[in-house]
Amino acid sequence: MGGNSLLERTLDSRLAPIYRKVVAGQRLTFDDGVTLMTHPSLFAVGQLANLARRMRVGDRVYFNNNAHINYSNVCAIHCKFCAFGQSRRSSKAYTLTIEQIVAKAREAVAKGATELHMVGGLHPDLPWEWYPEMLRAVKAACPGAHLKCFTAIELIHFTRISGLTLEQVLLTLKEAGLGSIPGGGAEIFAPRVREAICKPKETAEEWLHVHDTAHRLGLRSNATMLYGTVETPEERVDHLVRLREQQDRSGGFQAFIPLRFHPENTNLGHLPGPTGYDDLRVIAVGRLMLDNFPHIKSYWIASSPAIAQVSLHFGANDIDGTVREEKIYHMAGARTAQYTELQQLLRMIWEAGRIPAERNTVYEVIREYPAEPDPDLVAAGAIRGYTVE
């Protein structure tokens, strides 16, 4: 697939060389990333990202039917950006029993969920044995569900409470039903930002080491970036470059998911939070810089369904998901819903002129949809926002 000479003629002298690299499939440099992250025309950056997306992954947009289960919000560390984690004596603290987790899992799977995304805080009291036992119980109740569980930070916590090596922790969890690892806990890799927003948290090197180890053990994972706190454009690009280098080494990342910072109820509540421009910018620059990541995922819970939909023209090819119940963002003031109907996701994708495909966690297509809304569904009133001609 070639370039677009009309697009090239609209680009200025800073973006034109980047356009030529994108068309030639060449890797962008750190400096290119900073240019993209700061260029006054977000629209032009978005067009480059849309071109890169089309060349690399085509017009299909993935979504999945998933459920988030936050097994506990009790957390031994206190990151300034987080409203979810609570000390064990807080009135907002909770820990689900394994029976409650299994009940939530069953309910979600009965409604079509193929993925259970389960994360929590760094619980100071739960013993290590609880975690594989919990996975085994969920897997026994829902054998077909993919268990995407535990951030790199939780996994390091497990090594401390178990005395096991990281490999042993991962292999034990894998044996108990762990299917892959979500991308949380990455925040921004730059030490200056980590010091300011999540001082007690592990370093970038430690986060990357967990994903490296997981990939080498055959587990796939995702990568995130929390944006809109105190990071500079250069620190965002540094984060992307470090993810790209890790992917070159171990190859197991499936998706990059930028996470919009929500300030409410956090110790960074004085910050204004990111803008819509930031939301689209990080998706676009993520697509352009991460040439070895197949999927750029828009998390509508964090950014809003409207931004997630528009992001499909700024480099994204994946929308997360039906979700169901969400705590991390809603405790930090997110006003988005906690669940979206499948039909609503389809509408968002079709209206953006793209082709929906329901996927499982490892991006196998479960159901293909036509390029246009199905006239029978429209006639039946099942696709909101569409009327029959």
Binding residues (CB under 6 A) for ligand V47: these are 81-84, 151, 182-185, 187, 222, 224, 226, 257, 259, 261-262, 266, 299, 320, 328, 332
Which of 50, 180 has the CB closer to ligand V47?
Answer: 180
The CA-based angle 356-62-115, given to 5 degrees, is 125
Query: Token digits for 336?
Result: 């988005």
Which of 185, 252 has the CB closer to ligand V47?
Answer: 185
Contacts of 66 (CB under 8 A, 6+ apart): 108, 113, 114, 115, 116, 117, 320, 321, 322, 323, 324, 361
CB of 161 to ligand V47, least distance (A): 19
Which of 79, 101 has the CB closer to ligand V47?
Answer: 79
Which of 263, 373 has the CB closer to ligand V47?
Answer: 263
Contacts of 329 (CB under 8 A, 6+ apart): 262, 301, 302, 336
CB of 158 to ligand V47, least distance (A): 16
What residue is closest to ligand V47 based on CB? 184
Pairing of strands 146-149, 253-260: unpaired
CA dist 162 and 160 (Å) reads 6
CB of 69 to ligand V47, least distance (A): 13
Residue 206 has φ and ψ, to the nearest 5°, of -70, -40
Q: In what order do the strands lie in the sheet with 318-320?
A: 66-70, 115-119, 146-149, 178-181, 220-227, 253-260, 295-299, 318-320, 60-63, 355-359, 365-368
Contacts of 341 (CB under 8 A, 6+ apart): 322
Q: What is the largest CA-CA distance in the chain?
A: 65
CA dist 91 and 307 (Å) reads 34
CB of 66 to ligand V47, least distance (A): 8
Which of 261, 293 has the CB closer to ligand V47?
Answer: 261
Judge whether 213 and 171 are in contact, CB under 8 Å: no
Residue 213 has φ and ψ, to the nearest 5°, of -65, -45
Helical segments of 39-94, H only = 42-57
Which of 55, 271 has the CB closer to ligand V47?
Answer: 271
DSSP state of 95: B
CB of 148 to ligand V47, least distance (A): 7
Which of 11, 173 has the CB closer to ligand V47?
Answer: 173
Which of 81, 158 has the CB closer to ligand V47?
Answer: 81
